[in-house]
Structure 1
């Protein structure tokens, strides 16, 4: 039986990015947190929708535009229902879209906190001598790949670097420098653990 153990890590950022906005109540730039609520306003056949943010200092509100002066007939009814019901999945998709938020407001505060759900893709071999990790992200994270792997596998970043230099660790796509960058969806990592004295502990950590 092959010694390759294939595992999918589903990675989800835990804290939504926060826009940095000049708060007229606090009298300075403050981070605003997502409230988890949409606001929908109808003016005749025109629909406006916003995602509401709150100042972390005084709870002052800021509305992030989702729809602006859109004709009701041009809006997917499923989308409109989701906005009106504060659908959690739709809210998360907008709240964790750091690129869209940055393009709207310029300066944002990002967080490296993530949750990782681990799933075996094949039957576990009797003796795993190599790992193949498939990373799936539901939103971008600023957490560097070496910090993610180090934390989840219980090893140092210097050891990861040494594995990379010996070519017992490979990252796909885009080559070796990916360890120092945030992971992207569908990133794959292969680690050869043959000869590693703590192989069983690393395998156990990889499986969760």
Structure 2
């Protein structure tokens, strides 16, 4: 008998909520407006990602570059800022390092769904099952949560598979993963 393989995809449903306090209404939920603001003062540039409050609509700025020389920015990147490149907006909205540097956090609730290419596999099948998990977005998801969603197991059942060496994981069940990974289920 041949080993079985499955592909699970963490599919993007939307961008994470930017959690920071609005100066107008004190709400904490913001979304990207899809725009950048580039401000030139002589040979110095400021670049901000613009975000909007979900409650009152007030626009706020997340600093990307402050008082940098025009020549220090890659020309292509500067053009992407000036043209509100949607891919760059998406990438910067999901940038956890930027969030940490500028003092906000990201709420990934409702941003992903797990698609599997299988009806639930019988875990008692006598052949091994290798599962490839591919991330469309870097949402930090507890590995245990992926397993419960993908196999329809309870958390305790997933834990039991690990302790009985039937489930071979690259990390612990409590680890938050955000990049592609592979794991194995053995008979």
TM-score relative to the length of structure 1: 0.73
- 2:53 match: 55
Label 1:129 to 1:112 Cα distance change in 2 as closer, same or farther (>3 A): farther
The root-mean-square deviation of aligned C-alpha atoms, in Å, is 2.7
Q: Secondary structure at the match of 2:176?
A: coil
**Per-residue deviation, 1:156:** 2.4
1:188 equivalent in alignment to 2:182: yes
- 1:24 match: 23
Q: Distance in 2 between matches of 1:109 and 1:78?
A: 27
Label 1:143 to 1:168 Cα distance change in 2 as closer, same or farther (>3 A): same
Number of aligned positions between the proteins = 180
Q: Distance in 2 between matches of 1:129 and 1:12?
A: 31
Uncovered stretches (5+) of structure 2, i.e. residues with no partner: 119-124
Q: Distance in 2 between matches of 1:5 and 1:57?
A: 45
Q: Distance in 2 between matches of 1:11 and 1:38?
A: 26
Q: Distance in 2 between matches of 1:94 and 1:46?
A: 22
More helix by share: 1
- Aligned residues of 1:32 and 1:53 also touching (Cα < 8 A): yes
- Aligned residues of 1:98 and 1:140 also touching (Cα < 8 A): no
- Aligned residues of 2:3 and 2:130 also touching (Cα < 8 A): no
Label 1:10 to 1:143 Cα distance change in 2 as closer, same or farther (>3 A): closer
Label 1:59 to 1:45 Cα distance change in 2 as closer, same or farther (>3 A): same
TM-score relative to the length of structure 2: 0.80
Question: 1:17-66 CA distances to partner (integer Å, 9 max, x unpaired)?
Answer: 41221x3321x352222222211122222221110111122111210011
- Aligned residues of 1:146 and 1:157 also touching (Cα < 8 A): yes
- 1:203 match: none
Q: Secondary structure at the match of 2:131?
A: strand
Label 1:33 to 1:117 Cα distance change in 2 as closer, same or farther (>3 A): same
Corresponding residue to 2:68 among 67, 70, 74: 70
Q: Distance in 1 between matches of 2:53 and 2:68?
A: 28
Corresponding residue to 1:132 among 125, 130, 133: 130
Q: Distance in 1 between matches of 2:86 and 2:37?
A: 14
**Per-residue deviation, 1:117:** 5.7
Q: Secondary structure at the match of 1:94?
A: helix
Uncovered stretches (5+) of structure 1, i.e. residues with no partner: 121-126, 195-208
- 1:81 match: 79
Q: Distance in 2 between matches of 1:34 and 1:181?
A: 28
- 1:148 match: 146
